[in-house]
Structure 1
Amino acid sequence: MNFHVMTLFPEMVMNGLNTSILGRAASNGLLAFEAINIRDYTLERHGKVDDYPYGGGAGMVMQAEPIYRAYTALCDRIGHRPRVVYMTPQGRTFTQKIAEELAKEEELVFLCGHYEGVDERVLEMIATDYLSAGDYVLTGGELPAMMMIDCISRLVPGVLNNDVSAEFESFHDNLLEYPQYSRPEEFMGKKVPEILLSGHHANIEKWRREQSIIRTLERRPELLEEAVLSKKEKLFLEELLRKKAENQEEDTI
């Protein structure tokens, strides 16, 4: 899978992506990262890529022409118009489902805004997706782009040493991941749950699913509305909700 990041800070992007698991995947030819420096496509001799906003206001706006020239040069090079994701708090909040959708692409472009944003005209011309890392404002789109690329890359076959990890981590079936433990069996008086030491894989899987349901109910209950549960797991959830309601009634007495 090929990722192209249109940015004013290419070193920041490449230093972040070419490390750890992603860097290893890139070395093995499973992923390719490219940072396209928008400044390289300005016609202004001093490398300027921004100007004051029409109508007044604070800050500067990234100009349309350098971005459009960078994009068309990429299109000419790869032979088609790829999907372009623009990082903005006005977009859809990025989720695992969106990551799974984007992971189907062979080429993906991320446009990183800066300053007070990007000239709307070029967005209308090239942007296909508007995505947000959350309801807060950052100084630029580079960090959200790198975060999303990390998430999407994990879904590319072969990137993780254990492909099962990508499938069964948090948000699998819309549930949070179950608790994890490693050696030693006891740490400062806290012991690993006995079920995990039993070697009984079916019981361990049942325990893990139930723990995922418990954890999701405690921390992200809204996810349960679309959770994929078996008939027994639905009954287990109903029992948890019943006990929770009883406890709340006792607290109000």
Structure 2
Amino acid sequence: MPSPEATRLTLEFQRQVQRAAELIARRLRVTAMRADVTDIDGWWERISPQVQEEILTGQSALARLARGYLQQHAALEGVRLAPVVVQPNPEQIATSLRVTGPVAFKTHMAASGGEEAASVRIMSSQLQGSAQRLLLDGPRETTMRTFAERDEMVGWRRVRGGGDTCPFCTMLIGRGAVYSKQSAKFQTHDRCACSAEPLYRREPEPPEVQKLARQWREATAGTTGAASVRAWQAYSRGQAAQAAT
């Protein structure tokens, strides 16, 4: 397991990047709530350059912050590491924002029979979620690229962020550390707060991961594939309901 100092550094880094991503994403939601529904495409054409630039700038800044985190984390574990900082992909950002922006608005308008207020709320929510994901892609992909290209980093472990963790993420956390260089991809979704913590040596899984792995085996016994995922989702919902009572 990482040292207590390295674990604390990871938690503080998570808080920093999440605060920054949430702040920018909330601003985008507020902007979207003021959309001109009489000309949604024209409105998007006017605001999208500024929105895309803010996401590009934010993603780059968080990727650079990840470089410092990775260097400090490695040093605490007695390793010298030269992180590989990713560069934003403007086309990917533009496409994701357009799909969760005007496309989402028009899709909901068609499905709802023209409910403009509801369609604006849906668009605003989806834009906020995609913006947060895009911003956090900077530090996540920097960690993944460093893992793929630097031998000093032998693996990574998914760690949960703040708040509730969805069944999909708890399933992935329960799979434990990843040591294969061919698995240098971080699976995520909108509003996901998880991050990847570097590993510099093979090591036993922490108690939380062992517990999740045990729960997975029990919840999915006798199932495979998609059926296992459904069984895990049902189990997770049951656990959440018990915790709420």
Q: TM-score, normalised by structure 2?
A: 0.29
Choose between structure 1 and 2: higher helix proportion. 2
Q: Which is greater in Rg?
A: 1
Choose between structure 1 and 2: higher strand proportion. 1
The answer to which structure, 1 or 2, has the higher relative contact order (CA under 8 A, 6+ apart) is 2
